[in-house]
Amino acid sequence: MPQATLALTEDRRRSTGESHQALHPLLSDGGQALAIPAARHPEQAQLEAAVFLACCKIGGLSEHPLGIVQVHPEEEQLTLRLLNEPYVVHHWAEFLLPRLNDVESDHPQDCVAGVAGLRYRREGGGIMLHRPGTPARVLLTGFNPRWWDRIAERLDTDYGLLQIKRDWTLTERAAYTAAVRSPFEPALLFSPLLRRIRATAGTGPFNGTDAWNSVGGSFRLETTDGPPCPELARLLGDGPTGLGWRIDHKNCTCLCGHTRSGMGCTIDFLEPTTGQFVYYSNLKWGRSHSDGRRQTITELNRLAFGGDRPYPVQ
């Protein structure tokens, strides 16, 4: 296929994991690089931000950040193909599905574990995450949906999930309203980042991506083994599919010849629309495969279903 056509989808493919064949029909006749659409509805962006912040604690047990193999962003919906491993599905279900916290707090968000208002159903061969009464949709694919059902049943036994409630509970509504008003969970920041999550992955066998709010209204973005800084700056910055983040300061060791772990990089990004800073760190752990890590994944897969029987591969 023509090299020029490949170039038009290159940055989007790098940021989402989609194939050129799937993206080629979306190209226009103007010869412009294929953009990554933003969420059309505020509720869609808010759901994506909540999903990202809930699930970015998975760590780096695979080459896929957050366990996401591929992202397919549309204005009305986001489709995420997850790694076909039960421990990843268990992590997503446990950190997403809402349940009441048995705590007394002046902060409504502390009263709900998981994503407030989130419900799910089987759809399109996967698990559709949604919020009642809103157009927000996130479709999870890449695994057997029966895994999700079995894991959710176990979580419901352990915690008492709110999935059985067809509508929002009052506690969830209060938590959602507080999150929307909070400066610490900006949908404008985290929804576009989730739609480009593959941009944070390096070439090594393990990639972890995490984010959290910092002091003074700024945010931290951290990778365990991220890509070279110039590549990340293009994909999140002024590249054809980027976010327009500007570099305020950086300390880069990518091109200085250091090969041992611990020689990390930092970039201070400025998000121009809000004036917020995103302080990025690539820790460069430089991890490799080991028998111990494989055994850990095998054990996590066993425990995902309670550990009392093998998990169904299909």
Model pTM above 0.75: yes
Least confident range from 75-79, 160-164, 191-195: namely 160-164
pLDDT tier for residue 197 given thresholds of 50, 70 and 90:
very high
Query: Comparing 72 with 106, which gets the higher pLDDT?
Result: 72
Domain boundaries 193-282, corresponding CATH code: 3.30.460
Q: What is the dihedral of CA 213, 184, 189, 86, to 10 degrees?
A: 70
Does the structure show a pLDDT above 90 at 124? no
Q: For 214-243, what is each residue's pLDDT tens digit? A: 777 799 999 999 999 999 999 999 888 899
The most confident of 60-69, 112-121, 155-164, by mean pLDDT: 112-121
Does the structure show a pLDDT above 70 at 1? no
pLDDT tier for residue 122 given thresholds of 50, 70 and 90:
very high
Does the structure show a pLDDT above 80 at 116? yes
Does the structure show a pLDDT above 70 at 260? no
Does the structure show a pLDDT above 60 at 121? yes
Give me the residue label for tokens 């209204």: 217
Tell me the mean pLDDT in the region 83-110.
93
The per-residue pLDDT for 58 is: 80
Q: For 24-42, what is each residue's pLDDT tens digit? A: 999 987 789 999 999 999 9
Least confident range from 14-18, 97-101, 298-302: namely 298-302
Q: Distance from CA of residue 304 to its chain's centroid?
A: 20
Least confident range from 17-21, 124-128, 307-311: namely 307-311
What are the domain boundaries of the chain?
Answer: 3-183, 193-282
